Amino acid sequence: MDMKDLIAKLKEPKTKAAFKSYLRAVLASAITMGLALAADLAPEYAILIGSVAAPMAKWADKTEKEYGIGSK
C-alpha cells in the first residue's frame, strides 16, 4: 500500500465516520473524567454521566442523520 492508497482510504466516508465516532468517545471520556475530578464525584455518578455524555455528543453533531439536531 503506497501513500496515495492510504490517503484515498482515509478520505472514504466509512473511515471518516469511524474516526468521528472515536473522537466522540474521547470527548465523552474527557467530560466524564473532568467532571469526576473537578467535582470529586463517586465512581457511580461518573459512570452515569459518561453513559449520557456519549449519546449527547452524537445528538449535538449536526452532520449525524440517525438522531439529534441533524436528523429529520
From residue 61, alpha-carbon distances to 23, 37, 47, 69 in Å are 12, 26, 22, 7
| Residue 26: domain span | 17-72
6-20: b (≥16 Cβ within 10 Å) or e: eeeeeeeeeeeeeee
Per residue in 6-46, pLDDT (tens digit) is 888 888 888 888 888 888 888 888 888 888 888 888 888 88
Residue 72 pLDDT more than 80?
no
Inside any domain, residue 4: no
Q: pTM of the entire structure? A: 0.65
> For residue 3, is it within any domain?
no
Range in 17-21, 49-53, 63-67 with the lowest mean pLDDT: 63-67
Please give the tally of structural domains in the chain. 1
pLDDT band at 64 (very low <50, low <70, confident <90, very high): confident
- Domain presence at residue 11: no
